[in-house]
Structure 1
Amino acid sequence: MAALACLTALSATGQNREIVFKEADWKTQLANAKKENKLIFFDAYTSWCGPCKMMAKDVFTKDSVADLFNQTFINVKYDMEKGEGIALKDKFGVNAFPTYLFINGDGEVVHKIVGSAPAGEFMQEAGKALKPESTVFGLAKKFDGGDHSEAIALAYLEGLDKAYESDKMGRVAKVYFDGLPETALMETRQWDLIQKYLNTPSSSAFAYLYAHKEQLGTKYGADKVEGYFQQTFNRSVYSIKSAYEKKRELKDAQERAAAIRKLLAKGTEYSKPILTQLDLTEYVASNQWDKFSARLNKIWNDDSSPRKNALILGAANDMVSMAPVKYYPQALNWAIQISATNPDLFTKIQVADLKKRVLKKQGKIADAEAMGLEAMALRKEASQKGQMTPPMMKD
């Protein structure tokens, strides 16, 4: 394809060129793409995203990059937190920044790049959009059409991994690895691939491996093997929570939850906290806030582990986000109790953020603003000390 030649044969005449982004509403952008028979290069960014700014400053201004994109694509960009960008973020499932989409005139995503990259690597990835059969979306058509060969499956899994499509990657990995002979799962090559791609406990391959984790530990190291299983369980609970909140892939989420309960029924040192988090997640999904609150009170009274504060603060924020207003004082009470234990600076910021959210929800605007200033001061202190700060919660 002629456009691919741009990757290596673009003229270098002129200097300081940059990608030119066209301004128009999304409907007009699609119409132009169809009329010109070009793909849209869609820059999904936010105003606070550091890597987004780096790409705009250091990569989009390279002559070679500018020439490729200006000649080959219709370039558009939308702030995912403003105007039409808010709806487009949901439409295309953007959940990391920067995300770069390549979309045809029918509104179909044909390629996706997540994260920053040097100019050469970025151009190489962009070039894949011009060969749709080799993109993650082209590979999806082949895989979903029944081609579960190793070459297609692994190429598809690699593409999903790069595109940050973790849940979809898990579903594809489940189909592929469940189709292999059980004895093959213990082989070094397959075990390496499993650790990278298989992230769902509802897979029969995962269940087989979990039942044989002692043998795996002997062969590959007990700590590494246990780390894989624990990480998979934890990430699955997070995935289940996200599915319930978004009301998407609910059947898959329910299957994961049932598998976690079954596999952890015998108990390990990490079973209790994982099952506790799963219980809380399902209480929220079914609006059982009395059970949710009672469970957290029990944790507060009985749990002496270091994880207690983080678990309760996370759950309290869920309560403020989704529970009826009558439960807000309970969330505030947990914050006050945690404050009284003289926590570390990271936790103090979390507590201040939670208090601000509760006060604002209760209509106590002046108190909420004062608490917001306190949280900002704590963040500044942490920054000066070179310490991490928690992400800011939306009110």
Structure 2
Amino acid sequence: MKKLLIGIACLASLSAVAQNREIAFKEADWKTQLATAKKENKIIFFDAYTSWCGPCKMMAKDVFTKDNVADLFNQTFLNVKYDMEKGEGPVLKDKYEVSAYPTYLFINGDGEVVHKIVGGMSAPEFIAEAGKALKPETTTFGLAKKFNSGDHSQATAVAYLEALEKAYEADKMAAVAKVYFDELPKASLLEAANWELALKYLNNPAAQSFSYLYANKGELEKKYGADKVNMYFKNTMSSSVYSIKRAYTKKTDLKAAAEKATAIRKLLSTGTDYSKPLLAQLDLTEFAAANKWDKFVSKVDVVWGDEDFKNKAGFVIGAANDVVSSGPAQYYKHALRWADQIERNKPDLFANIQLADLRKRTLKKQGKTAEAEVMANKAQDLRKEAAQKGQMTPPMMKD
């Protein structure tokens, strides 16, 4: 009995220290890290994080400290991490187009990204993704090379689309999905297997395959349910409208953005319950890109006067922030005017926080620092009130 108790005590002791290893990160400037990776013939595991990112902290605490994770990464990769808001972080953020956190990049000694994943995940998932980074044929880079060389088989296309989804590369996924689904026989798109793949990956309204599905919406509704079908089309076109806005703002992929915009206008010409806000947002995006701010302001005024426009307060607040972010200073007064109009309609707490943030940003850009500080304090107080009530709060926008 005594031996048994001793044995149990030893097992408990071993269990307590079983998870005592963690990923070891090397500290050095980026140029040195690349040189080391090349010399040692290793792939760099690059943890792109921020100090405020919750999932980043979860991964560091619960996944990086697993012995099997630590052993794999410490033995296989050159592990580095950079805060994307400090030191070299902002430059590396732009260089590697990091837009969400955490982002995990696997980079060779030449500085090329061979694999990329975004977001928190379990230890087994993390290990599986790291394993893909070690096999050229399963990396995002390798799958891209294979697909772009003409291998458009379902196995290659789906693997590539899945990798792009995990890498948070919606625009690249849209381009690949367009090629793959447009090559399928049209009638086959209505079959269950292809429909399920379309639901997951076909996010491009400019694709002929998407137009075919939209034209056969009635048949899809009968086979798969109206709610599911309509939600797919609504979400796809909504996310595409904002990808168009992002493209115009960054001045990248403008041809693809224009193709999407033309397709959405054509598809929504018959009208749906979500046509009006999406078409209005397209108008504003194109006016802003062309510096036609008078037309931008007039369009927002039309929206505000439309009694049938859904969630127009949120739409107008978004438009006002766009004016403050990108418009000439003489148009800031319209942002404040719209804020006054919305406030007179007694908005909810969420919108009131947005209005306080909007006024703070506008006043600060106008050089009215004292008034901007008042609005900043008001926004802070409203956020505290929302927290006490257990209500969601809007994200804070940069000044």
TM-score interval (norm. to shorter): over 0.9
Aligned to 1:255, which of 250, 254, 259? 259
Per mean C-alpha deviation after superposition, the further-off stretch among 38-47 and 116-125 is 116-125
Aligned to 1:386, which of 378, 383, 390? 390
Aligned to 2:40: 36
List per-residue Cα deviations over 1:135-155 (Å, max 9, x = no partner): 121110000001111111111
Per mean C-alpha deviation after superposition, the further-off stretch among 64-73 and 254-263 is 64-73
Aligned to 1:200: 204
Letter in 1 for 2:235: Q
Letter in 1 for 2:293: W
Is 1:180 matched up with 2:223?
A: no
Equivalent residue pairs, number: 384
Aligned to 1:189: 193
List per-residue Cα deviations over 1:374-394 (Å, max 9, x = no partner): 111111111121111111100
Aligned to 1:169, which of 173, 177, 189? 173
Aligned to 1:133: 137
- 1:102-117 equivalence runs, <5 A: 102-117=106-121
Mapped partners of 1:141, 1:309: distance in 2: 46
Aligned to 2:305: 301
CA RMSD of aligned residues (A): 1.5
Letter in 2 for 1:191: W
1:258 Cα deviation after fit: 0.8
1:306 Cα deviation after fit: 4.1
Mapped partners of 1:68, 1:369: distance in 2: 50
Aligned to 1:120: 124
List per-residue Cα deviations over 1:166-190 (Å, max 9, x = no partner): 1111111110110011110111111
Structure showing greater radius of gyration is: 2
Aligned to 2:294: 290
User: Using a 3 Å threshold, how does the CA distance of structure 1 residues 14 and 190 change in structure 2: closer, same or farther?
Assistant: closer
Mapped partners of 1:229, 1:117: distance in 2: 28
The two structures have a TM-score, normalised by structure 1, of 0.94
Aligned to 1:325: 329
Letter in 1 for 2:182: D
Mapped partners of 1:15, 1:286: distance in 2: 57
Is 1:22 matched up with 2:26?
A: yes
Aligned to 1:48: 52
Letter in 2 for 1:67: D
Is 1:155 matched up with 2:156?
A: no
Aligned to 1:358: 362
Mapped partners of 2:19, 2:171: distance in 1: 43
- In structure 2, the gaps of 5 or more residues are 1-16
Q: Is the 8 A contact 1:21 1:77 kept in 2?
A: yes
Mapped partners of 2:64, 2:80: distance in 1: 13
Q: Is the 8 A contact 2:277 2:309 kept in 1?
A: no
The two structures have a TM-score, normalised by structure 2, of 0.93
Mapped partners of 2:253, 2:164: distance in 1: 17
1:305 Cα deviation after fit: 3.8
1:313 Cα deviation after fit: 0.3
Aligned to 2:241: 237
Mapped partners of 1:268, 1:370: distance in 2: 42
1:125 Cα deviation after fit: 1.4
1:196 Cα deviation after fit: 0.8
Aligned to 2:225, which of 221, 237, 253? 221
Mapped partners of 2:41, 2:289: distance in 1: 45
DSSP-derived class of the 2:45 partner: strand
Letter in 2 for 1:365: T
Is 1:334 matched up with 2:366?
A: no
DSSP-derived class of the 2:303 partner: helix
Aligned to 1:75, which of 79, 87, 106? 79
Mapped partners of 2:273, 2:341: distance in 1: 27
DSSP-derived class of the 2:269 partner: coil
Aligned to 2:13: none
